[in-house]
Structure 1
């Protein structure tokens, strides 16, 4: 490195930092964004509506999903729980309400969430979306989302908001 001038050293360090950042983002996406409990179906013989919960794995989102499941466990609402990546093969028309629990990453929603919203714009009115981000303010344009940071003490507050919206959608189903 003695033969490199300052500009060449700066360029080399910048390239190394960029590569390290890209490697970290790749690792983060594959470690934290697609890990949720196995897909499951609850109350499959229900008559009063069908709810889909699509979640990205995190202690915060898992706690909310568990509380929503517990709320609807004794009801006559069929509940399907899938990983967010399962949205790629999901038809929104089969559900009366959809709960999406996802994280804001690198200044945008995950590609799967964006693609699902793009392919199902007519279903926007039956979607309840919780978007978590570092500052708790990020959300998709033109989507009425509940937003916040993943702070465990706020689980019950977010769950109450979500259940109120889902109850309204399931009561108003056609």
Structure 2
């Protein structure tokens, strides 16, 4: 009994689709980010408010810890959320929003794109940091930086983020570090 050529082609296509599906599942499990645990720091009554939307990874967790540590002696309320919650957030409630996300499948996560699309009027208060393998992907028209998740560069990225955040969350005069001129 002869096997017809179209049956062979169908089986090859089915095999290719199954292989593609398995590779997609493996890629998603291997490279997708964990969910970040939401929490808040300091008092909601503070005038200056910072929202940090992030994904769970050692690199992003370190960036968040560095930012929180930097503001620990300032009167800044900090809310940390997972990027999946971004579409429900009103950035008008915050003086600054820092979004840390991974570039997946050639684009930002859908929640980040939705947030950007819904909040065009508040993008001047939004800072993005996108991680990717190449470290060169970012959302066009948004103040941001892209880089690889390289722990050795964590302080370089932290300094850049804090420089941008300080412009949006200026320190109170009593907390600013100014040197008084010396008179002789």
The TM-score range, normalised by the shorter chain, is 0.7 to 0.9
**Equivalent residue runs for 1:2-81 within 5 Å:** 3=3, 5=5, 7-8=9-10, 10-28=12-30, 32-36=32-36, 38-45=37-44, 47-81=46-80
Q: Deviations over 1:16-65 (max 9, x none)?
A: 22221332355357xx33422x2111121553410001101110000000
Structure 1, gaps ≥5 residues long = none
In structure 2, C-alpha distance between the alignment counterparts of 1:90 and 1:78, rounded to whole Å: 15
In structure 2, C-alpha distance between the alignment counterparts of 1:33 and 1:4, rounded to whole Å: 46
Distance 1:111-1:45 versus aligned 2 partners, 3 A rule: closer
CA contact (8 A) 2:49 2:95 kept: yes
In structure 2, C-alpha distance between the alignment counterparts of 1:169 and 1:115, rounded to whole Å: 23
Give the alignment's Cα RMSD to 1 decimal. Answer: 2.1
Normalising by structure 2, report the TM-score.
0.83
1:103 equivalent to 2:102? Answer: yes
Structure 2, gaps ≥5 residues long = 172-184
Partner of 2:182: none
CA contact (8 A) 1:64 1:155 kept: yes
Larger radius of gyration: 2
Q: Deviations over 1:75-115 (max 9, x none)?
A: 01111111111212211110000010000000110010111
* Shift of residue 140, structure 1, vs aligned partner: 1.1
Structure 1 segments of 4+ aligned residues over 2 angstroms from their partners: 2-13, 21-29, 45-48
